[in-house]
Amino acid sequence: MANGTAELTQLIDGKGDCVEALWELAQQQETLIAEQRMSELMPLLAQKQRLLEQLDEFQQRLQPFGEQAAETRQWASPAARTRCRTRQQQTDRLLHEIMALDARCETQLTTSRDALAAQLQQSTGAQQAAKAYRASQATGHSRGGRLDLTAG
């Protein structure tokens, strides 16, 4: 293959493999978030970050090919060109699916965080009320009247 089409094919395949690995991790991420297994999520996100860095490297190395007119490339065969184009299209579709999945994961995490914050707020309010009640009982003072249930 002339004009760098062999290199282009290798880069497209490498990018595709990287995106497929990201897809696997993104699916695991969604499961961990849904099951609230946050301690397992952090190492997975570290793995994902390394793959994102690799993906960025592929993107940078592919950039010169994007600036080149496609019709100037000389392929070994029409089948080789079709295979490379198909792989690129599949990779792009999967990358879009990953971005959509990441957005859903972010929404799930935000919802979970907000629910936890609400629970903490309720717990704090209940603790403050109990503390105030105990304080009033300890001093023998209460702000309201006493309810006499013995009178008929």
Q: What is the pLDDT of residues 112-121, one digit of tens each?
A: 878 777 777 7
Query: Is residue 10 included in any domain, yes or no?
Result: yes
Query: Is residue 130 included in any domain, yes or no?
Result: no
Q: What would the pLDDT profile of 99-147 be if each residue is shown by its tens digit? A: 999 999 999 988 887 877 777 777 776 667 767 777 766 665 555 555 5
User: How many domains is the chain partitioned into structurally?
Assistant: 1
What does the mean pLDDT of the chain come to?
A: 87
Query: Is residue 127 included in any domain, yes or no?
Result: no
- Round the CA-based radius of gyration of the chain to a whole number and report it: 30
Domain limits for position 95: 5-117
Contact 34, 104 (CB under 8 A): no
Q: How would residue 75 be classed by pLDDT, with cut points 50, 70 and 90?
A: very high
Q: How much is the average pLDDT of 65-86?
A: 92
CB atoms within 10 A of CB 26: 23
Task: Tell me, rounded to whole angstroms, the distance of Cα 119 from its chain centroid.
Answer: 24
CATH of the domain at 42: 1.20.58
Q: What would the pLDDT profile of 30-61 be if each residue is shown by its tens digit? A: 999 999 999 999 999 999 999 999 999 999 99
- The predicted model scores a pTM of 0.74
Which phi and psi (to 5°) does residue 144 adopt?
Answer: -105, 170
